[in-house]
Amino acid sequence: MTRPTVKNIDLPRRRRIPFWVLMLFVIVILAGGLAAFYMFMPLDAPIPDDLGAQYTGLERGYTDQGFPRLGSADAPILVEDFSSFACPHCRDLHNEILPTLFDEIATGQVQFVMIPVPHIGSGAENAARGALCAGEQGMYWEMSDVLYDWQKRFVTQTFNERRIRKGSESMPLDAEQFATCMSENRPGDAITRARDEFEQRWLSGTPTLFLNGEKVRDYAELEGLGDS
């Protein structure tokens, strides 16, 4: 009696996924999770007390290049401040040196122009955009106070755009107009001119001050500017 023969059937082999593909998948998942965390993490945006009170009575304006000015454009003494909102020494200058000039600014003897440098320090360009967008509604200097306050308070994500927009909602600003200004990058031309001016003067750091076109070597040069 003949036994039936059993034919060998070749079953398809399951292909193993290469290890590098698995690792790439894990990295993509982790990166996506990290991005989502930073995108949706809560961000505080505190506003200092008495915001803008120190600027009461000071004339405000802009240069032809779009840089914000305190004081009259006809003031005989011009102080130019190349500063970055991400620079700690710039914060010190803003908080400690600028107020010493307020009397001379108020009497029309000094004009103070800030040139917001966008490329020194993390988030500096976002901060410059935020300050200039607030400036559209007459609050450049108030937003500057806010940004420098945040620089001292926060370590990471200091000038996250969501934080800046959230801060604008707590200020006497039209939040929708501010958000549109940020989205459309309306201050872009002024920010580009600030970078160009920084490079054309062969500068390498912030803050850098100029007094009637001459580079300031010592803050003591600013003392007694209004004296005749």
* 0.95 surpassed by pTM: no
Domain annotation covers residue 45? no
Domain annotation covers residue 117? yes
- Tokens 């996250």 -> residue: 160
Domain annotation covers residue 223? no
What is the tally of structural domains in the chain? Answer: 1
Domain annotation covers residue 210? yes
Residue 178's domain spans which residues? 57-217
| Residue 72 to residue 78: CA distance in whole angstroms | 10
Residue 176 clears pLDDT 70, i.e. is over it: yes
DSSP string, 166-199: HHHHTTTS-HHHHHHHHHHTTTHHHHHHHHHHHH
> If you average pLDDT over residues 87-115, what whole number do you get?
97
CATH number at residue 152: 3.40.30.10
> Tens digit of pLDDT for each residue in 2-58?
555 555 555 556 666 666 655 665 565 555 444 434 444 558 999 988 899 999 999
Q: What three-state secondary structure class fits 91?
A: helix
Domain annotation covers residue 41? no
Are the C-beta atoms of residues 175 and 139 closer than 8 Å to each other? no
> If you average pLDDT over residues 70-86, what whole number do you get?
98
